[in-house]
Structure 1
Amino acid sequence: MDDSQLKYYFPPDLSKPNNLSVNYDKYISRDLTVDEHIDALLEALICIRDREEQHASCKSTSSISPKDAEGDCKDDNGLTSQPSASPSSALTAKTQPKQRQQQQQSSTTKADFVCYRGILTKIMCTPYARNEPWQLRATLFKGTIYIEEHVSPEKRKDAGGSNERHKLMSYWGYRFETICNISKPVSELRTIKVKKRRRRQDLQADEAHRGNGEGNATRSGGDTLAGAVDTERREKRPRTDLADEAVSGKGDCKHGDSDHGNGGGEDKEGHKDKDDDHGNDDDDYEVIEEVDLNDPELTGRLDGIVDTNLQYCTVARTKLGRNSIIMGAEVDCISEPKRPPPHNPLTNYIELKTSRVISNPRERNSFERHKLLKFWAQSFLPGIPTIIVGFRDDDGNVVTVETFKTMEIPRLVRGKEGAWDTTICINFLDGVFNFLRKIIVVDDPETTYTIRWDAPFKAIEVEFDGKRNKFLTEQFLSRWNRDDPEIKD
């Protein structure tokens, strides 16, 4: 497990055609008829525990001989666990009782509930999507309730879409991710130097400085992908206005600006621009380094092949009321390179979505009532702060790209007709968890329960299945039985 499938966001060039049906005939789809259970999530938890043990071993070694440990112990952060283990908690075996050591060793991989994010989204949205059925399967093992989605073989066959149109529209979402993502950080893209007219307010500011006897001041500022920077440092930035808004590690900024291009001076024929009030004074211009939009990394996206077998997933740990939750969540892309702990990469993750263009108030209301609810619920619990939506027409052409801040979405719908309430969603999920903890009481990985929300949609039903439908892997059970013998808090 590593970061090889982690992609970086770079907005699509809307000045070029961006039809989401391109290469549909080459689409490589996961086999949705295969029930993968939560095997990948369990494997990730084993991986996290391995790294915790390695980290604890490194701390123990360094406490004896720092020089001997130097260079051997590294914190490989290919898999994200939030929150990560605190280095100060990794005590040496000599000073820590074995039982206490086992408790701390498993702290980040122990929770009241373990599941994928999609299950949490379904439950949270249920108060406002009462006619959407779902069915889950659960088992209790060493105090933790593991939950997976249960899909019947019949429904699994139709998972990719009940007809060709639905399959195509499902593909559009994956295709949008392809044209928005690159495989390396923006800072590593090829750049070009461009002579660009300075903004009028900057020129006026310089004139004011000179009038005050301050001489030639170095200008600091500019709208760049990495935030406001001193142009003397020649930071990279996009060459054209590619999107309404983009995401960076330091905050939101515009890609390009309104003065980009032939803003003044002479055109290609050598004619003086009528709007150039400052003549050919070199002080009116600056040479900046911008991302070359002809970089193969960017142009290659248009011919990219969608392969849904390739994903990047993170593991996040959070708390809701009295219930601790470990969830697995697919990550579409990130705004900047991941930094090692204690930095939290979740703050730079981005969720990519598509939606039909909004052409009237009724469609706006539907988008805010239904789509934004699911967008918010999906990103809120794992803590993904940014959602970028590509609005497309009925033929799959991307028309506009808009950025939403997860924590600001509730304010967008508050007080409007049919508005949803985040408090109701959160309390409902918390209530369901409290209910399940009272019902699911047989601590045995071979015993399962079925949790069902179905017609007539009046109550959540829990059915005891007995020793059937076991879904925790033998590898996971063996490792947890070895690491976690009966320990009392």
Structure 2
Amino acid sequence: MKTFPLNSRSKTTALKQPKELFTYYRDIDNQYIYDKETVQSNASYYYLPDSDVSKRIDLQSGYSKFQKIPEEQNLGDFGLLLQGIQRYEEAHDGTKLAVDVVTFRGLMTKLLCIPYNNRDAVDLNIVAYDGQLFIKADDIIETNRRQDDLRQKQSQGREQAEYISKCEYSGYKFEAVATLSKPWAESSRLTIEKRGKKIVNNYEQYLSVIRTGIGKTKMALAGEVDCVWDYIPDSPSEVLGHYVELKTSKVLDGPKQAATFERKLFKTWAQCFLMGIRKVVYGFRDDQFLLQAVEVFDTEQIPVMIKNESKINCINALKWYGAVIDWIVSEVPRDDESKAWRVSYDPGSRLFSLMELMAPDNERLRNGEILTDEFKAWRESIKQSQQ
């Protein structure tokens, strides 16, 4: 086991300008779509005028009909991301995607937030293949952790457990009432007015895969996009600036709520900053889940807002992120395809570590959970074509 000091900081915070490579979509039937036109036709567009906000929209309406994807189907299928990368490479004359790391945006958000969110454990598995590192959360550990969270909620009593569940639902409900399936100009009045009666689900996901990085490390990150602010430009270099992150929070009625919101806003900033998303829309609800207000934040302004009110410093977090990514890339040999590794953060001991995994975890990760036979065969075909 190797450890990395939590006070480590990089000299640079230079994040490579994110650029969208491709998108893919998970539909209501839990099927994945990669065709660009079909995917873009499933994008959502933000539309929530002040006149709608003043109606005090009920964000728990339709809760009993919520179509929630089972947790075991919502772990982030790495094979589907690899399938998208393969299609991208096929469309670019079989040219291998030039990055050092392939992973999900959510996992890198967890790493970035550790300096100011040190109570949550992190366990990420890493395998090297074809000169690149592929990083994914461990399915077994993550499933057990979610089951423990569920048991903890249930132990708080039925009423409290239902309240927590409704808090989660209210976020999805806000997305449903704040978006349209087409731009406003192309939407019928009936469609706009009926949004509140739409059955809410968390199956449907619009996912963007971007090329970015920190310091010398180039990365491909996949992350969910909530909606589009106005339109989708044709240029891949401009698309990310038109995406919007949607969030909900309890109304701020005191210093404690304000401090809680600042921590939440920090995590939101990390999510958006890594993806190049420039706007965040927050819906504020009361204890009865009635929407009281909506506020739009510019991602680049969030660090200024929160550093003056709390001890959170986004630049400091970026310096940690740059240092820890550089450490992982330097410590995991990219030319050794026989091993698997796990990077972990333990909040109890406050220890950040890297360790080599033995069988059977090694075989599990290299054969299916992270790397798929289809993707390995594709990459081998690229090598053969270049010989």
TM-score (structure 1 length as normaliser)? 0.64
Contact 1:5–1:310 (Cα < 8 Å) also in 2: no
SS of alignment partner, residue 59 of structure 2 = coil
Report the residue type matching 2:381 in the other structure: R
The yes-or-no answer on 1:433 pairing with 2:325 is: yes
What letter is aligned with 1:118? G
- Partner amino acid for 2:47? F
> C-alpha distance in 2, partners of 1:166/1:361?
22
Bigger drift between 433-442 and 142-151 goes to 433-442
SS at match of 1:330: strand
Could you say which residue in structure 2 is the equivalent of 1:304?
198
Q: Which has the larger radius of gyration?
A: 1
Paired with 1:446 and 1:26, the residues of 2 have a C-alpha distance of 47
Higher mean C-alpha deviation, range 180-189 or range 156-165: 156-165
1:6 aligns with 2:46: no
Residue 118 of structure 2 contacts residue 347 of structure 2 at CA under 8 Å; is this kept in 1?
Answer: no
Look up the match of 2:313. 421
Q: What is the match of residue 317 of structure 1?
A: 211
2:353 to 461, 469, 489: 461
One-letter amino acid matched to 1:469: R
Aligned equivalent of 1:142: 130
Q: Is the 8 A contact 1:130 1:457 kept in 2?
A: no
Question: Using the alignment, how far apart are the partners of 2:149 and 2:376 within structure 1?
Answer: 30
Which consecutive residues of structure 2, in runs of 5 or more, have no partner in the other structure? 1-33, 154-160
- Specify the SS of the correspondent of 1:33: helix
Amino acid at match of 1:169: C
1:160/1:167 contact within 8 Å kept: no
What CA deviation, in whole Å up to 9, does each residue of 1:130-189 have, x standing for no partner?
A: 122111111111121111112523223356783333222111111110011100112213
> Is the CA contact (8 Å cut-off) linking 1:6 and 1:183 kept in structure 2?
yes
Higher relative contact order at CA 8 Å, sep ≥6: structure 1 or structure 2?
2
Percent of aligned positions that are identical: 27
SS at match of 1:381: helix
Aligned to 1:203: none
Name the residue aligned to 1:49.
Answer: 89
Paired residues of 1:131 and 1:457 also in contact (CA < 8 A): no
- What is the CA distance between 1:337 and its match in structure 2? 2.4
The one-letter code matched in structure 1 to 2:364 is N
Mapped to 2, the partners of 1:299 and 1:160 lie a distance apart of 35
Query: 1 CA distance for matches of 2:195 and 2:333?
Result: 50
Secondary structure of the residue aligned to 2:204 is coil
CA distance in 2, matches of 1:30, 1:484: 39
Equivalent in 10, 15, 25 of residue 64 of structure 2:
25
Query: Deviation of residue 459 (structure 1)?
Result: 2.5
The change in CA–CA distance for 1:175 and 1:387 in structure 2 (over 3 A counts) is same
Amino acid in structure 1 at the alignment position of 2:339: T
Aligned: 1:395 with 2:383: no
Q: Greater share of helix residues, 1 or 2? A: 2
CA shift in 2, pair 1:36/1:132, >3 Å: closer
| Aligned AA (2:72) | T
* Paired residue type of 1:21: Q
* 1:16 paired to 2:55: yes
Q: Structure 1 residues 36 and 15 mapped into 2: Cα distance closer, same or farther (>3 Å)?
A: closer
2:373: which partner in 1?
474
Give the whole-Å Cα distance in 2 for the aligned partners of 1:46 and 1:446. 22
Whole-Å separation in 1 of the counterparts to 2:347 and 2:54: 48
SS in 1 for 2:205: coil
2:144 aligned with 1:154, yes or no?
yes
Aligned to 2:15: none
CA distance in 2, matches of 1:472, 1:430: 26
Q: SS of the counterpart of 1:481?
A: helix
How does 1:161-240 map onto structure 2 within 5 Å?
162=153, 163-190=161-188
Instruction: State the match for 1:381 in structure 2.
Output: 274
* Change in 2 beyond 3 A, CA 1:480/1:160: farther
Are the aligned partners of 2:54 and 2:292 in contact in 1 as well (CA < 8 Å)?
no
- Measure, in 2, the Cα distance between the counterparts of 1:36 and 1:367: 27
Aligned: 1:355 with 2:249 = yes
The 5 Å alignment of 1:68-87 reads none
Provide the rounded CA distance (Å) in 2 between the counterparts of 1:478 and 1:375: 38
- Alignment partners' CA distance in 2, 1:160 and 1:178: 25
Q: Is the 8 A contact 1:350 1:386 kept in 2?
A: yes
- Tell me how far 1:414 sits from its aligned partner: 2.6
Cα deviation digits, residues 28-50 of structure 1 (max 9, x gap): 11121245541222122122223
1:182 and 1:383 map into 2 onto residues whose CA distance is 22
Distance 1:363 1:419 in 2: 16
Q: In the alignment, which residue of structure 1 is the partner of 2:17?
A: none
SS in 2 for 1:427: helix
1:356 Cα shift? Answer: 0.6
- Range with bigger deviation, 370-379 or 342-351: 342-351
Q: TM-score, normalised by structure 2?
A: 0.80
Q: Which residue of 2 aligns with 1:483?
A: 382
- 1 CA distance for matches of 2:164 and 2:236? 43
SS of residue in 2 equivalent to 1:337 = coil
Identify the match of residue 239 of structure 2 among 315, 321, 345: 345
Q: Distance in 1 between matches of 2:170 and 2:341?
A: 36
CA distance in 2, matches of 1:122, 1:181: 27
2-structure distance, mates of 1:377, 1:342:
22
What are the within-5 Å matches in structure 2 for residues 53-72 of structure 1? 53=93
How far residue 123 of structure 1 moved from its aligned partner, in angstroms, is: 0.6
| Counterpart residue identity of residue 479, structure 1 | W
Using the alignment, how far apart are the partners of 1:459 and 1:185 within structure 2?
A: 48
SS in 1 for 2:40: coil
Give 1:117 shift: 0.7
Alignment map for 1:325-336 (pairs within 5 Å): 325-336=219-230
In the alignment of these two chains, the number of paired residues is: 330
The AA in structure 2 aligned to 1:10 is: Y
Cα RMSD after superposing both structures: 2.2
2:23 aligned partner: none
State the secondary structure of the residue aligned to 1:344: helix
Q: Residue by residue, what CA displacement relative to the aligned partner does 1:401-445 show, whole Å, maximum 9, x if unpaired?
A: 0000000011112333x3311221111111111111232116455
Q: Shift of the alpha carbon at 1:366?
A: 2.9
Once residues 420 and 405 of structure 1 are traced to their aligned partners in structure 2, the CA distance between those partners, rounded to angstroms, is: 18
Match of 1:287 in 2: none
Evaluate the alpha carbon distance shift between residue 415 and residue 44 of structure 1 in structure 2; reply closer, same or farther with a 3 A threshold: same
What amino acid does structure 2 have at the position aligned with 1:411?
A: V
2: distance between equivalents of 1:459 and 1:158? 22
Greater percentage in strand: 2
